[in-house]
Amino acid sequence: MNIVGDAAGPGNVNSAICDDVGATLKYVIYGGSDEFPVSTDVTVISLPRFIKKLESGLILRSRE
């Protein structure tokens, strides 16, 4: 999992990093309560929802 401190847009350094590590899912954590896609591979999600997905295994934690 790659955690980035600021919003990433297509074509910038963060996008290149995601490509380098083979990230297939990308999340933007925000202070609201919803979850919605902003592109085919980027989802905006609240922190509590993201944590639930991590705990349930819906988000892979490693590429072992």
**Residue pLDDT, tens place only, 29-49:** 999 999 999 988 889 999 999
Q: Where are the domains of the chain?
A: 33-59
Predicted confidence (pLDDT) at residue 61 exceeds the cutoff of 80: no
Average pLDDT, integer, range 17-30: 85
For residue 10, what pLDDT is reported? 46
The rounded distance, in Å, linking the Cα atoms of 53 and 60 is: 9
Residue corresponding to tokens 């934690």: 61
Contact 40, 25 (CB under 8 A): no
Residue 35's pLDDT is what? Answer: 95
